[in-house]
Structure 1
Amino acid sequence: MELWPWLTAALLVLFVQLSPTVNFYAKVALYCALCFSASTLAVAVCLLRHGGRTVENMSIISWFVRSFKYAYGLRFEMKGRQKLEVNHPCVIISNHQSILDMMGLMEALPKRCVQIAKRELLFLGPVGLIMYLGGVFFINRQRSSTAMTVMAKVGERMVQENLKVWIYPEGTRNDNGDLLPFKKGAFYLAIQAQVPIIPVVYSSFSSFYDTRMRRFTSGTVQVEVLDAIPTRGLTVADVPKLMDTCHQAMRTTFLHMSKIPQENGATAGPGTLPAQ
């Protein structure tokens, strides 16, 4: 019996276990493979179940993505989930840290909720196709006029179809231990549609996922849904204040949940507003 294949496999497993860097890249590669394979299966299920593009497909997509956490030993502990289960349109905003955010999003995803994503994702094979089938709105961020047109249509549709829209207001992934300044799109959308904003905050992933340290282990993510912030009666002139209110509330919660020290050495806690 040929022993070399088995010996090679055993050495490879041992090497992965001993090398954090190899372990990191192996887990990232597995995550990408899971995304593509699950998307392919989900496409078939969505087409068989609903026949095409509809927000109802998001429950199917959510089921597939939520299963990923078992492969990585991740847990999501959520506080305030009931605040998302409202029967009216709203804009949901959350912090954006890494490629793992999709798992966190699907853990919290309420009914009739779609996302706004960059247009480039539409061309990622089965991943782009399943996002399209789930009703995701794609925006070309390189063309502001086109993006504004899409956002205007999103505002109309979310009211007409009773949709919740999930947006990452930082605009890009950020794992620096703080929140980036917010972009205005989500707040213009909420005011245009006169719907409330519901902030959702995820604690820092850095204890188990860190691209700079090549760390990818098991861990627990704290998730907190904050109180809805109304926009009824607000106008475009109120966007800066609304944006600042949301940013401060989310940043305070993020630093407290993640136990990240402030500049003065104290840890942010309830009622403590970190310096901007």
Structure 2
Amino acid sequence: MNLQGLITLDEQITEVKMTKEKYVFLEGPSDIIFWKSLLNGSDDSFNLIDISKVDNDERSNKRAVVSLVSKLNMEKHESFGIVDVDYDCFLSRNASRDSNKIENIYYYEGNSLESLLLHSSKFAKVIELICTNISEDNIEEFRNRVVNISRIKGKIRLINDKNIIGRQLACDKLKIKKCINKLQKAEQEILVVKSLQGSWGLSQKDMDIILEKMSCYDSIEADRYLCHGHDLFQALEALIASGVATTQKKEKYTENQLFKYFIPYFDGFSENKTVPDDLIGDILIDEIPNIYIA
């Protein structure tokens, strides 16, 4: 263990190699909560490992999971990892990948776990449970509103990921509530970017490039991959707080609380299923999709 009491990556690998038990490596505590519920009743027993509690030199929890599983693959161990797709699926028109498949690495069917949840059929159950003015008649309209709000920030995250202007924009400065009003989409995007021109230190050239790219990204139809999971849940939280979705006694819900409402609906989902193979197509994908962008 290191000075903070965390197990090191090498120690984790040694622990796994010394047992025949199955391990699932996950990016963080939310994933652990979800998979504990999902695996309830499964015929197989799995040790769920939160990689954020493993000391490593990787730049992200996702990279750490991939690195650890890749090393275990060389030992022919049956353990596997589950990570977010993030924006890895977006490629320029002339780009290509040698392979999207990494052995024993699986991805949520969407940008992230939260994206998977919001685009699932369980969304209607959760919203109809906590909101008094949303029903099966307008649930898809409401979901689309959550998605459309999140698309603005999703486009900026994609611009960051592709390093379009040569430096990173501080997405934490873009509060999701800035994306909620009745303006037309193009006007809304201009307003949002202009509001951050000073804090982001954007030149007029930067502004023009960003707005042009955001306009190009209108053709992206894969909202489940463009919209970041946390942005979706923040948009949902903001719409409830603003009264667009009314709740009993005008209660407000945090992103964390909303996430936890989804969990019971997945309890025992893997019962009578072979994990992870039988979850592909419902919960997981086994390779990153290719989505081409301008």
Does the alignment reach a TM-score above 0.5?
Answer: no
- TM class by shorter-chain length? under 0.3
Structure with larger RCO (C-alpha < 8 A, sep 6+): 2
Q: TM-score, normalised by structure 2?
A: 0.26
Q: Which has the higher strand share?
A: 1
Q: TM-score, normalised by structure 1?
A: 0.27
